[in-house]
Amino acid sequence: MIETDLPVKQNIGFKPGTGILWLLITLALSLPLVSTAQNSRFKPFNPDDSVYLVTGKKLIIPTVLMAYGFGQFMVEPIRSLNLNIRNQIVSKVSQPFHLDNYSQYAPAVAVYGLNFLGVKGKHNFIDRSVIIATAAVIMGVSVEGMKTITHVARPDGSGFDAFPSGHTATAFTCAEFLYQEYKDVSIWYGIAGYTVAAGTGFLRMYNNRHWLTDVVAGAGFGILSTKLAYWVFPKIRKLYSKDIKISFSLIPPIDFSHGPVR
C-alpha cells in the first residue's frame, strides 16, 4: 500500500458508477441527433470480423500496463518513482486544472459527433451504443472492485481509493472505442483519442489525485474493458433484432394541407 504523510479521509474520491452514468447520459443525449435507417449506412454485421476476436497479441499492451501498476505492491523502485514524480509535479503546480473531469469522455463523444457529421464508423448507432455501454460496465465493475480491494491512499490524502485511476480508465475505454470504430477510416482518429486519454491521465497526477501507477493501470483496465466488450458483442447482439431500423429527427413532421401534425 502506498501511504502519504498527509491527513487522509476515507470514502472520498471517484464515486462508484460515475463513469458509467456519464457515458450512458452521453448516449441518451445523442439520440435526437440520429436521423438514419441504420442498415442502409453501415456494412452488414459480420460476427467473424477480427475486431470481435481477443488474441494474445491484443492483450499485450493492457496486460503490461496493468502489470506495471500492480508492481507498486511488490517493487520498491516503482513506489519510489511514484513519490519522486508526484513531488516534482506538485512542486510546479500553482493551481489545479480540472479539464480531466470532462476530457475523459471526449473520445466517446467524438464517435457520435463524427457519425452525425457524416463520417461513418464501423457500427450503427444501436450496435456501437451497446458496445460502449458494455465496456463501461466492465470497466466500472473492475475498477471499483480493485479500488476496494487494494485500498491505496491518494497522494493528496483525500481517500483510500487511488488504484486504479477511474478517470484514466474511462478515458482509455473511450479512446479504444474511438480507435476501433474509426481505424478503418483513418488511424489519426485513434491517435487523437489516445492523446486526449493520455492527457487525462497526466492531469490526474497534475491535480495530485493519483500516482503514476494508478494512471498506468487505469489505462490498461480501460483498453482491456473495450476489447472485452467487442469480444462479447456478437453474443449480446443475438438478444436483439438484427433488422432494427430507427429514425429520429428534431424537425416535426408536416402535413402541408393541415399544418404540423400534433
Q: pLDDT at residue 107 above 70?
A: yes
DSSP states of 206-260: HTTS--HHHHHHHHHHHHHHHHHHHHHHHHHHTTS-TT------SSPPEETTTEE
| pLDDT tens digits, one per residue of 140-199 | 999 999 999 999 999 999 999 999 999 999 999 999 999 999 999 999 999 999 999 999
* Contact (CB, 8 A) for 178 and 110: yes
The predicted pLDDT at position 9 comes to 34
Q: pLDDT at residue 61 above 70?
A: yes
Residue 260 β-bridge partners = 254
Of 240 and 3, which is predicted with more confidence? 240
DSSP-derived letter for residue 42 is S
How many other CB atoms are there within 10 angstroms of residue 229's CB atom?
25
Instruction: Enumerate residues 6+ apart whose C-beta is below 8 A from 261.
Output: 252, 253, 254, 255
Q: pLDDT at residue 248 above 80?
A: no
Report domain extents, the chain: 50-240
Q: pLDDT at residue 7 above 90?
A: no
* CA pair distance 155, 204, nearest whole angstrom: 10
Confidence of residue 241 (pLDDT cuts 50, 70, 90): low
The predicted pLDDT at position 4 comes to 45
Confidence of residue 46 (pLDDT cuts 50, 70, 90): confident
Q: Kindly compute the dihedral angle of the four CA atoms of residues 177, 180, 182, 185, in this order, to the nearest 10 degrees.
A: 170
Q: Kindly compute the dihedral angle of the four CA atoms of residues 85, 90, 91, 93, in this order, to the nearest 10 degrees.
A: 130
Looking at 47-61, 220-234, 238-252, which range is the least confident one? 238-252
The predicted pLDDT at position 198 comes to 98
Of 12 and 150, which is predicted with more confidence? 150
| pLDDT tens digits, one per residue of 73-101 | 999 999 999 999 999 999 998 888 999 99
Average pLDDT over residues 35-64: 78
Per CATH, which fold does 50-240 belong to? Vanadium-containing Chloroperoxidase; domain 1 (1.20.144)
The predicted pLDDT at position 43 comes to 75
* % of the chain exceeding 70 in pLDDT: 76
The predicted pLDDT at position 74 comes to 95
Per the prediction, the chain carries an average pLDDT of 83
Q: pLDDT at residue 10 above 60?
A: no
Instruction: Enumerate residues 6+ apart whose C-beta is below 8 A from 255.
Output: 261
Residue 249 C-alpha cell reads as 429527427
